[in-house]
Structure 1
Amino acid sequence: MFKISEASKKVNLPVATIRYYAELNMIPSLKRNIENQRVFDDESITWLEGIKFFRELGMPIAEIKEYIELSQKNGKGALIKRHKLLIKQEQKAQDNVTQAQNNLDELKRRITLEDEIIKGHKQDSLNPARRFNQ
């Protein structure tokens, strides 16, 4: 069992963030000791790692809560709903990859242009000061 400070270090999340998730009942396996302090077992740590992963994807808290609630239910219906949430996140992640690749391509294009300017093969058309040096 881990105290909240230990759980914080283990999953690299601030204590305040873990408390927030706990208050939202997002850690199903969370327990309290006889002093009423939150204690985290390996399953709680796994839940925190999952929440962190989904947040890093940009998944809204409400959808993470829904996923967690569905994870606590039995039956094919709950599994299908969870699956749909994951597919939705996969599409968002793919869109992010596509946008990141477009940004990288544009950055490379600009670097190539500046290399050509540095070598004197092209004029620096982006620099307003060049107008006064002509």
Structure 2
Amino acid sequence: MKIKSYKTMVKEYYEELWNKHNKEYIDILFDDEIEFHGSLNIQTKGKKEFEEYMDKVITGIPNLYHGIEVMIEEDSKIAVRAVYNGTHKGKLFEFEATNNRIKYNGASFFKFKDNKIVDIWVLGDLATLYKQLQK
């Protein structure tokens, strides 16, 4: 039995976890063995590794906003086209802070099992992002 709709859970992933930095949602939304594959050449397994990745992104772009443009659900999977924007205020992986505004598009694919997110794949427009991270 589904407690929340998968679409509601994905909206909470973006709004509560990423946009509001409410890390309680890591336990609410994720399976213990959550696998995350990010477009910044990052792979994590488990809640702790995901939180460490999230901290690095928030350090680099503390006001990073994830906006949902399109969401499609099929069975236990959801695909999202999103737009990301914010200000590059801190080190983001190998890129030192530039104070540049960034805006780029991406797509995320979520897989669910037992009312938890078990897998996330993110594909971002890195060419556009990298241009904006240059001084």
Larger Rg: 1
> Greater share of strand residues, 1 or 2?
2
Indicate whether the TM-score tops 0.5: no
TM-score for the superposition, normalised by structure 2: 0.28
TM-score for the superposition, normalised by structure 1: 0.28
The higher relative CO (CA closer than 8 Å, separation ≥ 6) is in 2
